[in-house]
Structure 1
Amino acid sequence: MADRAVTDPLLDARLVVRRDAFVLDAALRIHRGETVALLGPNGAGKTTALRTLAGLTSLSAGHVTLDGRDLDRPEARNWTPPERRPIGVVFQDYLLFPHLSARDNVAFGPRRHGADRRAAQAVANRWLERVGLAEYARRKPRHLSGGQAQRVALARALAVDPVLLLLDEPLAALDARTRLDTRAELGRHLAAHPGATLLVTHDPLDALVLADRLVILEHGRVVQEGDAAAITARPRTDYVARLVGLNLYRGRGEGHAVGLAGGLTLTTTDTVHGDAFVAFPPTAVALHPRQPDGSPRNTWPAVLADIQRHGDNLRIRLDGPITVAADVTPAAAAHLRLEPGRELWVAVKASETRAYPATPESVR
């Protein structure tokens, strides 16, 4: 990553798209050999960004520059149609041609780029072998499993040697077991791809496993960007906090204390001054039937609002001066007789919290 910091990005784009009341205005830069995951809630603009890069949606302003070549720059009346862009796309539903075999689906791109039938099929055969589907070359999409169809779609996208590879929720249509295996397979191919890759996904696990860097998009704007460690350590919006599984609050820091809007002050081991965030995981929240004595400084009364299964544990939502999520074991829930409306005391150790400045310069 150090080398990437001093080299020009392979993709340099500022995507400005205006659609009725919605405006996408996001900068994206991806270096050679890098995979970037674009995450965000529904309606954030992820699909619009991908379609704009692919040439399926035109920019209102800004630019798309790939490998030093402008593909879209409205102010210069410069626009390159999708078929002439060195870009491969894997759509969420794969969009394989149902009447063509797996081999002919993969050969379609090289044929469109001028290769004759024999050369295109030779390319297709090599890619099908690389994705482990050589023996399925003659099968049509309806005779392929979801994971096999995904790999054919990936091979079709890579068969044209794309400078930029775009992946739109490529694992969303798969069941849990197939998704696990296909994610690992996809990761190997992305690691070997010499160009730039943009992965659009809702799934934080896909992003954490497959991407070198995360870009978080909300309401058409980039709100946070960085590697997984940086994002998970210091989330800056409620969406990002939920994505990485943290309770997040914004307040005013004065040394080791952060005052929150609800009147509660949280004590931390970090030192912050001015506008600040404080975060802690649901596992750091302890629940007590009455106010604890001589325990953590951070205690407050709360009412249990909701309880749901969360993996092997239970995820509790508590209302009070702040709304907080807590994870408890089924045994602890039974011992505390947890049910909606139950009055409890919440405790969080200062050492379990993380406080940091809420400064905009960290959102690059």
Structure 2
Amino acid sequence: MSTPAPITSPRATGHPDAPMLDAHLVVDRGTFRLDLELRVEAGEVVALLGPNGAGKTTALRTLAGLEPLSDGHITLGGADLDRPTQRIWLPTERRPIGVVFQDYLLFPHLSAVDNVAFGPRRHGVDRRTAREQATSWLHRMGLAEHARRKPRQLSGGQAQRVALARALAVNPALLLLDEPLAALDARTRLDTRAELQRHLGEHTGATLLVTHDPLDALVLADRLIIVEEGRMVQEGDAATITARPRTDYVARLVGLNLYRGRADGPTVRVGDGFPLTVADRLDGDVFVAFPPSAVALHPSRPDGSPRNTWPATITGIQRHGDNLRIQLDGPIGVAADITPLAAAQLHLVPGQPVWAAVKATETRVYPASPG
């Protein structure tokens, strides 16, 4: 295979508008195929979200050089790292990429400072300079007093920061974060997320975050990419994604009831033709969304109620924050959030028939075709 050109900035290669990362990831693994285009600017944080098996980890592994592409390309800073059609492939250790794995994978026999110094040493920096750089990074992470501790002597949040320092110490053009907060307890996660946000804001390279947690993505990322079955199904900033989900997975992620249907003015027929009256007048294929909090439950058909009312059967009741999440079956499946007091007054139990109601003004309607 040929050797790629040295990693340089896009401007140095004569492409001032090129993103730091320009990749088309195509990986065939039996019946699964990843086919995903990624572009991440310098200084930008992009989050990959999707259900288990969507291809997020495969995408990260191909970028890191842990798995080769079947087709497509990975171009970082204007230089090709992987381009099968030209027999170009750069080994993992030569890629200007830093990785923070879910379990951090710190070297157990090395101190925190030597863990961080490992990256610069691997890139040819002498031992003394590498340790000086590592000490500086630990100071920036608020871990100077823990420099001589082994990983087993660190808390989860401290280990996460050591792993981040190790990844950033090589000044990577691309930083890959694989569920970086998943191993932490709830309180440590909250504090560490805020620290991680600050450090990512200072990173001048591109960052790709793989996560299952929508809060991590919403807090840390400038842009979200939703991946399902190996393909991008939605992309945008947090406001766009949360306002207009386009798949059931995204709707669940942001806590909305979502239906695809056919609009004719103020009426949208969803499911098997069930009509929903909506506030916006559109025509053609659309999505209708509304939050579970917009669904009111009644023991019998309400009088003088919103125009959207239908009989339903309770199929599940779960605690959801301070409220109860009621799952309903009927002409359309729906989730409703009600207070414990309201549930007690209605004597709600699984299998119970109720009436559901949603005001037209609580619905959000938008075209099913992107853009």
Residue 74 of structure 2 aligns to a residue whose secondary structure is strand
Instruction: Output the CA distance in 1 between the equivalents of 2:276 and 2:197.
Output: 41
Write out aligned runs for 1:189-228 (5 A).
Answer: 189-228=199-238
Verify the 8 A CA contact 2:259 2:271 in the aligned structure 1. no
Instruction: Output the CA distance in 2 between the equivalents of 1:20 and 1:33.
Output: 36
1:112-131, Cα deviation, whole Å (9 max, x unpaired)? 10111110001000100001
Verify the 8 A CA contact 2:26 2:69 in the aligned structure 1. yes
Asked whether 1:238 is paired with 2:248, we answer: yes
Deviant stretches of 4+, over 3 Å: none
Asked whether 1:80 is paired with 2:100, we answer: no
Verify the 8 A CA contact 2:112 2:146 in the aligned structure 1. yes
Among 107, 113, 117, the alignment partner of 1:103 is 113
Write out aligned runs for 1:1-364 (5 A).
Answer: 7-359=17-369, 361-362=370-371
Distance apart, 1:7 and its partner CA: 3.2
Amino acid at match of 1:23: R
Amino acid at match of 2:122: R
Distance apart, 1:75 and its partner CA: 0.2
Query: Could you tell me the TM-score, scaled by structure 2's length?
Result: 0.95
Instruction: Output the CA distance in 2 between the equivalents of 1:240 and 1:27.
Output: 19
Distance apart, 1:85 and its partner CA: 0.5
Instruction: Output the CA distance in 1 between the equivalents of 2:122 and 2:339.
Output: 57
Residue 124 of structure 1 aligns to a residue whose secondary structure is helix
Query: Could you tell me the TM-score, scaled by structure 1's length?
Result: 0.97
Residue 170 of structure 2 aligns to a residue whose secondary structure is coil
1:205-241, Cα deviation, whole Å (9 max, x unpaired)? 0000000000000000000000000000000000000
Distance apart, 1:317 and its partner CA: 0.1
| Alignment partner, residue 3 of structure 1 | none
Amino acid at match of 1:56: L
Distance apart, 1:8 and its partner CA: 2.1
Instruction: Output the CA distance in 1 between the equivalents of 2:341 and 2:245.
Output: 31
Residue 52 of structure 2 aligns to a residue whose secondary structure is coil
Instruction: Output the CA distance in 2 between the equivalents of 1:252 and 1:99.
Output: 62
1:107-166, Cα deviation, whole Å (9 max, x unpaired)? 000001011111000100010000100000000000000000000000000000000000
Identity between Structure 1 and Structure 2 (%): 75
Instruction: Output the CA distance in 2 between the equivalents of 1:109 and 1:16.
Output: 29
Instruction: Output the CA distance in 2 between the equivalents of 1:338 and 1:174.
Output: 36
1:277-331, Cα deviation, whole Å (9 max, x unpaired)? 0000000000011111112111100001100111111000000000000001000
Instruction: Output the CA distance in 1 between the equivalents of 2:360 and 2:154.
Output: 54
Instruction: Output the CA distance in 2 between the equivalents of 1:244 and 1:261.
Output: 21
Distance apart, 1:256 and its partner CA: 1.4
1:10-37, Cα deviation, whole Å (9 max, x unpaired)? 1000000000000000001000110000
Distance apart, 1:262 and its partner CA: 2.6
